[in-house]
Structure 1
Amino acid sequence: MTYVGKPVDRVDGTLKATGAARYAAEFPYPDLAYAALVHATVARGRITRIDAGLARKTPGVVAVITHLNAPAMKPPPKPTPMDLSTMATSSSVSLLNTDEVHWNGQPVAVVVAETLDAAREAAHLVEVEYTELPATVDFAAEEANARPQKNTLLSSANTQKGDAEAALAAAPFSVDLRYTTPGVNHNAIEPHSTTAYWDGDQLVLHDATQNTTWARDQLAIRFDVPKKNVRVISPFVGGAFGGKSLVWPGTVLTALAAKVTGRPVRLMLTRESVYRTVGGRTPSIQRVAIGAEAGGSMTALIHSSVSRVGKVGGWTEQITTVSRHMYDAAALQVRQSLVRLDALPNTIMRAPGESIGSFALESSVDELAYQLGLDPIELRARNEPARNPVDGKAFSHRLLLDCFEQGAKEFGWAERAPQPRATRDGRWLVGMGVAAAYHPAWQFQANLTLRLSADGTVLVRCGFHEMGMGTATAISQITADTLGVPLDAVTIEYGDSDLPGAGTAGASAQTATVTASLLDACEKLTDGVFALARKTPGSPLRGHRRQDVTARDGGLYRDSRGESYGEILRRAGRESIDAQVGSETRLGELTGQVRFMSKFLMDRRRWMKAACGAQFCEVRVDAETGEVRVSRWLGVFDVGRVINTKTAASQLRGGIIMGIGMALAEETLVDPRTGRIVNASLSEYHVPVHADIPTIEVRCLDDPDPTMPLGVVGLGEVSVTGVAAAVANAVHHATGRRIRDLPITLDKLL
């Protein structure tokens, strides 16, 4: 291949570097107005009085919209896997169509003004009074009230093999440990923003979204208009990490404000408003218990979790998934439970479930290794399964031990002193830790059109999303190699709900999803071009079979004989030729959903598909202050075929940085009396900065998975898994202290 596997520069790099790339809050409209939200200050209650008199008197105010004057909207659709677009529902609350408050921060009014400053000033002047109702807001206090989570069509919350509790009790060596992880919030460089404009019953919406198609469908339902009347445009998204997957209140209320005022309206959430209206990752309480023989063979593995959802919605997380697949324990039991709080619904966040579940599991494996007197990598190797431990399914691709072997050699693992607190450099205690990374491989459904023109250019149209991971570049590389055209001959249109739908950019599935449809379209296109050539007098391809002809050098060739695409089309009197995969009709949508579910269920019966890797960490801990510094990092990953080595490395480093933040800094603090987030800003919610992060080395085995399109597995999320455990294990090695409650702050080490 000419382009696939190479460090190709981003096709949108110049646009972003020069500021020409437009984000949701940068599209100009005449007579544009600005909106600001008013947030509830109680967790549960009813609004008894809203006084917007002072707000309306503020110079420049156009409208103040509350439940007293807002037009009625249709209720949000209930999520169901039978209609994937409903999965974008963020909550069941009919915003501004009710006087009920369901979480502290729920929008209770929207102020629209001529300027942003006027809108925000007036929003502070809206007075709201409530009758408070009993509220459940303290996650830790509700642990005893957790209820078992149900299995669903898409995920399993409870699994058992053998009698794990009995095996644990009989094991000569065991650990039985409790872990906690706090809630954490997304902090994308681009806060959520929306620009909305109505032309009659036609809505145009510029939104920071990971899913234009699902957002369009949701808005069509809420405003009771046909889907074709709604267009959601999102060519560039300034980071998301899952937080922009669903349709949050700001998006709906911007469209509502535009409808009420009859003007284009722009809402740019403040950092605080993002915390108040956009869900984050659930906190968790976990138990991991492992029993083992003296030689290290695991006889029992138990992993249970308690997490939270809101009473008006929330995504459950697959916290125990890692324990279903990582180790060949003779008996296994995983259980997930939920508490329901009067809180903003939690949502998807990079590697939902696996990121925090891997912290508990991989920390426990490290503890067991010390108890057994085994090297942590050796213990993992002795329990590496040949097939999926729960059901015996074959792994489609799993080179985890290769990752550990390569990483250990490059990181210098053999030089590590086995005992904790054995290495010191001045005031710094030095430690090394390791953990396994894991994330399932997903593939969804994408529609796509492909056009080849007589001038040799190719146009790909697909409504996928570009959030900085380089998808447009990867799809350009694949297109160029598959059709045998130069990279600069390929143009990609994406990020618009008027394009063929590609679903969500999430679950590390977008590249594989779009690639599957792209390869299908390329095959259809080349078949069509070959059919033209065979019918055209004088073509060197006449009389040949399709299977003997390949696409290369900008045309179709059999050995050295052939002709360019342009020559074939011009000879046939054609300006262009098209190919299509999927359909945007109602029947096409239903067919696509059936096709997706059929393939999903068939694959799940046959294979266990996942990306995996090994995380190696070195930390330095100040012996007197407890300050922790990550000083070295190496991640080695089995993520199938790598399309672009440059953007892949960037994605992997980004996930590791996010994991370091989870390990050492990030924590959403909630007042257990009021349910209010008390650190809803980047001045009090701590994320890593440049000074916190060392040079991060990443390696990919680049071995294609034969069951995935072009061998692509997906790598955006696997890189955050195992990171927190690697840090915690390194901290233990440096200090002799086990920290089982994230984040690992210095007070826990003093």
Structure 2
Amino acid sequence: MSAHLKQDEPITSNRLDKMKQGIIGKPISRIDGLAKVTGTAPYAAEYRVEGLAEGVLVTSRITYGEVVSIDKTSVMSMPGVIAVVDDERLTTRAAQGTANEAPQQDPRTVCYWGQPIALVVAETFEQARDAAKHLKVEYRATSGAPLDPDGVTPEEQEDETVNQGDLDGAMASAAHTSDVQVKTEGHASAAMEPHAAIAEWVGDRLTVHASLQMPNYNITELADSLGIEEDNIRLVSRYVGGGFGSKLGISEETVAAAVAARELKRPVRVVMSRQQVFQCVMRRSETTQRLRLASDEEGRLDGFGHQALVSNLPGEEFAEPVLQSSHFLYGGENRQLKLEVARIHRMTAGSVRAPGEAVGMPALEIAMDVLAEKSGVDPVELRLRNIPDRNPEEDLPFSSRKLAECLREGADKFGWDGGPRTPRQRREGEWWIGTGMASAARVHNVGEAKARVTLKSDGTAVVQSDMTDIGTGTYTIVAQIAGEMLGLSVEQVLVELGDTDHPKGPGSGGSWGAASIGSAVYVACEALREKIAQRVGTSEESMELRDGAVVGGKSLAELLDGEDLSEEGHYEPGDISDSHTASGFGAFFAEVRVNRFTGETRVNRMLGAFGFGRVLNEKTARSQCLGGITWSIGVALTEALLFDPVDGHLVNCDLAEYHVPVNRDVADVEVLMLEERDPVASPIQAKGIGELGMCGGAAAIANAIYNASGARIYHYPMTPERVLAALPD
């Protein structure tokens, strides 16, 4: 049986508030946690398959040009080598910015340094790796390929362009203005688990264990790449060691393993090295942004301008959506927003950790801090004065918004001093101490989702979907939703995810996973409750379920009488997305110390206050917020992809040289969650949280650096040398 809900209207019933099991929202530990910490949860490369051969990708040593020849004989006599696979599909780049897009490049063309061009297969990984290093490849390089966006004539993204009123006039007549240029470097997803796949054919049926975020789309991409029907493919991705956008689309190791396994008629495993993950999996684009703000004497915005330049390979559709929250976060009648893309030859640019706001908000919130100083208005108060009643560009109402509450309650909890702010007011030895703040915003998305819920005859339940859990807690919140609706404990709900033999979930990306798959589970459970109510002889709305029984009546096992009941819930976003602006909101507060001699910055403490609808699990939600704040520290102080200006290769392609924050970088972090019910966001009133926690946090650190030391820096990350260069005399 199936039950379908298309959300065209707000859903105000708030059914989860009326259930009796009392587990929704509670800080329940992850049900998959024990398997993970004991090493018994199998990740993509860890499945035991008989007769497994090992494949290692060979990557390009030129930046732009073409492969002339691959001399297979140069390695075939080496120990253990089975084959060199140079099928053209190995070099076909899956569009990784948005899942389920068609490949964009000629398979024999090399578009960037590090692009996979072949696969060496051997009996052991070490043998394959050695042979891959010795494979002779002849290239024809093309000189003059643009490697850096500076100096490249950009393409304007017309769908992102906004021109309302007269921004130039507003800037000319304003009492106070802020006109700044902010740069951000590119970022890597830097997920803990490298990209990996094991492919095995049984007849015409292909099974692939892979590290994927969105099997619902990935199966279509792989079928298209191999020229077979989706029905002949099974993707298994039960545990994923982080994705952060890098595993949205099918990438080369999965296609390579499938092609090689079919050719060799034996299973093949392909695991990217850490260096290959950095070199050929998509990056976040670097950005150059100009912010122009015009206000009256009291700091109320009359003009708002945000212009951004990003980059990508020729032919790719994705453009880092830098302006995403700028369209609605603050008011200003005179508005000008523009996004441009420069075509350069670095690896594909795509979705990485909150694409758009992760780099757009840190730039905007520096500009707001500059305006606060010029207008003499406290930074918190400035933002409060500029919260619009409706979306200022589309004149749409907000579905819900906790921005003002986050600003006020966050400031109070942090101990924000709303008095006059002047740099260098506090020093401890050789360290200046200062504070800063910023707003947070991240657009809310939901996706079509399906989930099968089976109420077993013994009174337990099974939930099945190809939805993935990339470390965010999906297994647990799915069990909580089903348990709450059916009156079961979490221990009585078995959750099976990450298998395309199950109904199609939404996939994990864009912070839409919990609200989307949770809604599908909710719809299925509602239908099951209807069936149970019929057996009880009452209405579903009045029936109460708790501890595996109808309150005041029989147990579920007695009611089922040896029969299983199953329903497939189908949730589909409807027209409501066109009638409201839905977003998560929040505020960041940071205290930093800056060394007066070295320019080193250390974060003493940070607080994030967030409003994102219903909290489905207090512990996993807080964990997501902590992770986002940690990412903010990386954007602010350490993370940057560095490319060689001569040949364009990535210089810092491992975790030793690409600096993500570690324990010593993350001090005292506090999270304040302001729960709300958003009837537009989803049937379960939840919004996304995974990425909201980093959208603007870097600016709180940047603004604190200025307050501490007087160094106003417009280039992320704010390294010691940049701080030193910006220190006033």
TM-score, normalised by the number of residues in structure 2:
0.93
- Is 1:37 the counterpart of 2:49? The answer is no
Match of 2:660 in 1: 687
1:224 alignment partner AA? G
* Higher RCO (CA-CA < 8 Å; seq separation 6+): 2
Corresponding position of 1:497 = 500
> Cα–Cα, structure 1 residues 400 and 447, in superposed 2: closer, same or farther, change >3 Å?
same
Letter in 2 for 1:689: V
- Shift in alpha-carbon separation, 1:71–1:321, aligned structure 2, 3 A: closer
CA distance in 2, matches of 1:392, 1:173: 26
> How do 1:159-178 residues align onto structure 2 when only pairs under 5 Å count?
159-178=162-181
In the TM superposition, 1:244-259 aligns within 5 A as 244-259=247-262
Amino acid at match of 1:567: E
Contact map agreement 2:62 2:113 (CA 8 A) in 1: yes
Q: How does 1:151-230 map to 2 (within 5 A)?
A: 151=159, 157-230=160-233
In structure 2, the residue matched to 1:538 is none
Matched AA of 1:576 = D
Q: Cα RMSD between the aligned structures?
A: 1.9
- The CA deviation at 1:340 is 1.2
Q: 2-side partners of 1:77 and 1:469: how far apart?
A: 25
Find the counterpart in structure 1 of residue 424 from structure 2: 421
Q: Of the candidates 150, 153, 156, which is equivalent to residue 148 of structure 1?
A: 156
- The 8 Å contact of residues 443 and 512 in structure 1, kept in 2 or not, is answered as yes
**1:731 is matched with which residue?**
705
Give the aligned partner of residue 382 of structure 1. Answer: 385
Letter in 2 for 1:283: E
1:634 paired with 2:607, answer yes
* Deviation at residue 48 of structure 1 after TM alignment: 2.5
Residue correspondence of structure 1 range 546-695 to structure 2 within 5 A? 546-557=540-551, 560=552, 562-570=553-561, 574-582=562-570, 596=573, 599=574, 602-695=575-668
- Paired residue type of 1:709: P
**What is the CA deviation profile of residues 689-728 of structure 1, one whole-angstrom value per residue up to 9, with x for unaligned ones?**
1111102110101122122222101100000111111111
Matches within 5 A, 1:140-539: 140-143=149-152, 145-151=153-159, 157-313=160-316, 315-414=318-417, 418-531=421-534, 533=535
Mapped to 2, the partners of 1:282 and 1:420 lie a distance apart of 32
Give SS of 1:235's match: coil
CA distance in 1 between counterparts of 2:342 and 2:350 reads 15
Q: Could you say if the C-alpha distance between residues 192 and 85 of structure 1 is closer, same or farther in structure 2, counting changes exceeding 3 Å?
A: closer
Of 124, 127, 131, the match for 1:122: 131
Q: 1:3 aligns with which of 23, 27, 30?
A: 23
SS in structure 2 of the partner of residue 188 of structure 1: coil
Give SS of 2:424's match: coil
The one-letter amino acid paired with 1:413 is W
Distance in 1 separating the partners of 2:677 and 2:39 = 36
* Matching residue's letter, 1:5: G
| Structure 1 position 529, deviation (Å) | 2.1
CA displacement, residues 391-411 of structure 1 (integer Å, 9 cap, x when unaligned): 221111111111111111111
CA distance in structure 1 between the aligned counterparts of 2:327 and 2:708, rounded to whole angstroms: 30
Cα distance in 2 for partners of 1:77, 1:292 equals 45
Please say if residues 243 and 348 of structure 1, whose CA atoms lie closer than 8 Å, have aligned partners that are also in contact. Answer: yes
CA-CA distance at 1:138 after TM superposition: 2.8
Give the conservation status (yes or no) of the 8 Å contact 1:107–1:277. yes
Identical aligned residues as a percent:
35
Structure 1 residue 347 displacement after superposition: 1.1
Deviation at 1:486, TM superposition (A): 1.9
Q: Could you say if the C-alpha distance between residues 275 and 79 of structure 1 is closer, same or farther in structure 2, counting changes exceeding 3 Å?
A: closer
Count of matched residue pairs: 703
Structure 1: segments with no counterpart, 5+ residues: 152-156, 534-540, 583-591
Shift of 1:64: 1.1
1:75 deviates by 7.2
CA distance in 1, matches of 2:419, 2:53: 61
**What's 2:45 paired with?**
25
* 1:654-678: CA deviation from partner (whole Å, max 9, x where unpaired): 1111111111111111122212111
2:100 to 75, 86, 89: 86
* Equivalent-residue separation in structure 2 for 1:43 and 1:704 (angstroms): 51
Cα distance in 1, alignment partners of residues 314 and 330 from structure 2: 35
**Whole-Å Cα distance in 2 between the matches of residues 79 and 425 of structure 1?**
47
> What is the aligned partner in structure 1 of residue 4 from structure 2?
none
User: Secondary structure of 1:109's match?
Assistant: strand
| Structure 2 match to 1:588 | none
Q: Secondary structure at the match of 2:523?
A: helix
Paired AA for residue 125 in structure 2: L
- C-alpha deviations, 1:41-72, integer Å up to 9, x for none? 11111222333333212101111122xxx377
The Cα of 1:740 is off from its aligned counterpart by: 0.6
- Asked whether 1:106 is paired with 2:105, we answer no
- The alignment partner of 1:418 has SS state of coil
- Give the stretch that moved more between structures: 647-656 or 71-80: 71-80
The question of whether the paired residues in 2 share the 8 Å contact of 1:213 and 1:232 is answered with no
Q: What SS does the corresponding residue of 1:548 show, helix, strand or coil?
A: coil
Distance 1:337 1:85 in 2: 22
The 1:104/1:576 distance shift into structure 2, 3 A limit, reads: same
Alpha-carbon offset, residue 315 of structure 1: 2.2
Match of 1:698 among 655, 659, 671: 671
Letter of the structure 1 residue corresponding to residue 554 of structure 2: E
**Distance across 2 between alignment mates of 1:74 and 1:181:** 30
Aligned to 1:714, the other structure's residue is in SS state coil
Residues 667 and 71 of structure 1: CA distance in aligned 2, closer, same or farther (over 3 Å):
closer
Query: Contact 1:416–1:432 (CA<8 Å) still a contact in 2?
Result: no
Could you say if the C-alpha distance between residues 674 and 75 of structure 1 is closer, same or farther in structure 2, counting changes exceeding 3 Å?
closer
For residue 417 of structure 1, report the CA deviation from its aligned partner: 6.0
Q: Give structure 2 stretches of 5+ with no counterpart.
A: 1-19, 725-729
| Partner Cα separation in structure 2 for residue 530 and residue 732 of structure 1 | 62
Q: Is the 8 A contact 2:147 2:346 kept in 1?
A: no
Contact in 2 for aligned 1:76/1:222 (Cα 8 Å): no
The answer on whether the counterparts of 1:310 and 1:345 sit within 8 Å (CA) in structure 2 is: yes
Q: Using a 3 Å threshold, how does the CA distance of structure 1 residues 666 and 78 change in structure 2: closer, same or farther?
A: closer
Task: Describe the SS at the equivalent of 2:46.
Answer: coil
Encode CA deviations 1:85-137: one digit per residue, 9 max, x unaligned: 624x5x4236xxx4321211111221001111111111110122221114433
| Cα displacement (A) at 1:546 | 4.2
Distance 1:312 1:59, change over 3 A: farther
Query: Alignment partner of 1:468: what SS?
Result: coil
Q: Structure 2 CA distance, aligned partners of 1:55 and 1:76?
A: 25
Pick closer, same or farther for the CA change 1:77–1:732 going to 2, 3 Å.
Answer: closer
Retained in 1: the 8 A contact 2:378–2:419? no
1:589-644 alpha-carbon deviations (Å, 9 max, x no partner) = xxx8xx54xx1xx2232111110101000110000010110111110100111111
CA deviation after TM superposition for structure 1 residue 191, in Å? 0.8
Is the contact between residue 530 and residue 556 of structure 1 (CA under 8 Å) also seen in structure 2?
no
> What is the CA–CA distance in structure 1 between the aligned matches of 2:297 and 2:485, rounded to whole Å?
53
Question: What amino acid does structure 2 have at the position aligned with 1:604?
Answer: S
Give, in whole Å, the separation in 2 of the partners of 1:79 and 1:670: 20
Q: Paired residue for 1:586?
A: none
Equivalent residues of 1:52, 1:127 under 8 A apart: yes
Q: Distance in 2 between matches of 1:78 and 1:636?
A: 35
Q: 1:702/1:309 Cα in 2 relative to 1: closer, same or farther (>3 Å)?
A: same
1:124-139 matched pairs, under 5 angstroms: 124-139=133-148
Of 714, 721, 730, the residue aligned with 2:695 is 721
For the Cα contact (< 8 Å) 1:314–1:347, is it kept in 2? no
